[in-house]
Every structure is written in structure tokens, then in C-alpha cells.
Amino acid sequence: MQVTRRQALGISAGAAAFVAFGPALADEAATEKMLMEFTGGKTPASGKINLKAPEIAENGNTVPITVSVDSEMTEGSYVESVTLLADGNPNPAVATFHFTPMSGEASATTRMRLAKTQNVVAVAKMNDGSVFMDKKQVKVTIGGCGG
Amino acid sequence: MAAPKPRVKVPKSASAGEVITIKTLISHKMESGQRKDKQGNVIPRQIINKFTCEFEGKPVFSCDVEPAISANPYFEFTAKVMESGTFKFTWVDDSGDVYSHEQAIEVK
């Protein structure tokens, strides 16, 4: 097969991109591992938790993100913690929120950095040990890890 | 860098049992440890790694923060207030510096 100039450029650009970012960025396996560490090996169910993130983030340096969990937030039944993971960042961990019945509602908003277009995952752990997950893809126009 | 300055928004008053929204922000550059300077040396990580909110000494909300949180970290969360008291907010830096802020609320 003859490699055209255009193909050759494409291949080398792809390879360069991989060398530059590939090993430094977290992959889905690392995210999965952190998720399992958080849940204690349980596979999270869907539902109850809602992750609100923009579909397209123009600036990856500050992406607003809201997570809320449907819970009574009483002594008997409340959300213990919620962790946020981003599978395309250099390190998938983003933040872990800890709630108490005094929180009133299990809902929090923050602003995060995203290196590139990727999935953001939110996992909630209830006080009875059950886990729930939500996932959103965020398209990033300008990455937030520039140096 | 200017000393980090916390800014907190708590309603001045609320009715007993009301769930209020609290907004907090602290000026901090949140150096991620991923960036390099002009000579190609990695700029060491320097972030707020923990944020907590307490009401009269009891935990309300806290957050373990990673470098993926934006500069000038912003947190918005809720609290259920039953009685008048004071919220205490604490931010802890990688260097061990602690920044705190207190705000009272009146419950009618």
C-alpha cells in the first residue's frame, strides 16, 4: 500500500498526540478502579443520582457541575458521600463530597477542570451502603490542563 | 500571590427547619502540578485539598478536593437549620495553611 502524504501526516500527528498526552492521561480502567475503591467493589445502580453538566464546555478550565441525589436526608437514611471522576483527565479523581443529615439535601455545585472531551461520572454512596451512578459526556473546546 | 480570601454567602435569617443554600468561594490559584514553567520544570502542586463546613461544631458538609477543581474553588451546597448559630467554613491548603471564615444565621 502506498502511503499518501496526507495519510502520513495524519499518522504522525496521531502518534505525536498519543506520545504527548496518551500515557499522561487517565484511562477508563483507572477510572473504573477508583470507582470500585469508592464503592467497595459494588457495581453502582442507575437512578436516584443526577449529574448536571454542560453538554459543551467552551473553557475546560472552569466547567460548572452540579450533583444531586434523591434522599430524605434523615438520621436513618441519608447520602454519605458523592465522588466525581473524569476519565480523560491526568488523574480521574475530581472531588468527593461528604454529606450529613444536617445538609438537608444531598446537592452540591462546584467548578472543575476538564483536559479534553470526556465522561464525567458521579457516584453516590448511601448510609446503608448502596451505590448509585450517573454519567455525562462533556465536550470540551479548550482543555483545562494547558501549561 | 495575594493571600487567599474567602467569600461566603449565607442568608441572614431563616425559619426553623428550612433548607438554605450556602455559596462559598476562595481566591486560590489551585496549581495542579501538571503545568510546566518556561524552562520546562514542573510547577509544584499547590491546591486547597479540603473544605469543610460546620454548624456549631457539627459537620454539615465537607469536600476532599483534587487538582481537577478549578482555580478559585467554588462550592455551593445546602444546610438545614433548626436554631440560630454560626457556620464555620475551613479551607486547608497543601502547605498546611488553614483559612477560615465564620458567619452567623438567625432562625426565627
B48 Cβ contact partners less than 8 Å away, ≥ 6 residues apart: B4, B26, B28, B30, B65, B69, B73, B91, B92, B93, B94
Instruction: Report yes or no on B36 lying in a domain.
Output: yes
Predicted confidence (pLDDT) at residue B10 exceeds the cutoff of 90: yes
DSSP per-residue codes, A77-126:
S-EEEEEEEETTSSSSEEEEEEE-GGGSSEEEEEEE--SSSEEEEEEEEE
The CA-based dihedral angle spanning residues B12, B15, B17, B23, taken in that order and rounded to the nearest 10 degrees: -20
What per-residue confidence (pLDDT) applies to B4? 86
Nearest CA in chain A to B81: A102
Task: Give the strands of the sheet with A63-69, arranged side by side.
Answer: A49-52, A63-69, A106-112, B74-81, B18-26, B6-9
* β pairing state of B98-107 and B13-14: parallel
What per-residue confidence (pLDDT) applies to A146? 59
Structural domains in chain B (count): 1
Contact B63 A62 (CB under 8 A): no
What per-residue confidence (pLDDT) applies to A20? 46
pTM of the model: 0.84
Residue-wise pLDDT for B14-34, tens only, equals 999 999 999 999 999 999 888
Instruction: Report yes or no on B68 lying in a domain.
Output: yes
Q: For residue B80, give the CATH number of its domain.
A: 2.60.40.10
Radius of gyration of chain A (CA): 18
What per-residue confidence (pLDDT) applies to A19? 44
A6 Cβ contact partners less than 8 Å away, ≥ 6 residues apart: none
Instruction: Report yes or no on B100 lying in a domain.
Output: yes
Nearest CA in chain B to A73: B80
Tell me which chain A residues have a C-beta less than 8 angstroms from the C-beta of B36: 147
Residue-wise pLDDT for B54-78, tens only, equals 999 999 999 999 999 999 999 999 9
Radius of gyration of chain B (CA): 16
Q: Tell me B2's DSSP state.
A: P
B65 Cβ contact partners less than 8 Å away, ≥ 6 residues apart: A95, B47, B48, B49, B50, B51, B73
Instruction: List, for chain A, all residue ranges whose pLDDT scores fall below the cut of 50.
Output: 16-24, 147
Share above pLDDT 70 across residues of chain B, in percent, rounded to a whole number: 98
* β pairing state of B18-26 and B48-55: unpaired
> How many residues are there in chain A?
147
What per-residue confidence (pLDDT) applies to A21? 46
Contact B73 A111 (CB under 8 A): yes
Cβ A56 vs Cβ A138: under 8 Å:
yes
What per-residue confidence (pLDDT) applies to A1? 56
Cβ A41 vs Cβ A82: under 8 Å:
no
In the predicted model, what is the mean pLDDT of chain B? 93
The domain in which residue B34 lies consists of 6-107
What per-residue confidence (pLDDT) applies to A147? 44
Instruction: Report yes or no on B1 lying in a domain.
Output: no
Instruction: Report yes or no on B26 lying in a domain.
Output: yes
Looking at the partner chain, which of B36, B70, B78 has a beta carbon nearest the beta carbon of A112?
Answer: B70
Contact A97 B58 (CB under 8 A): no
Instruction: Report yes or no on B96 lying in a domain.
Output: yes
What per-residue confidence (pLDDT) applies to A12? 57
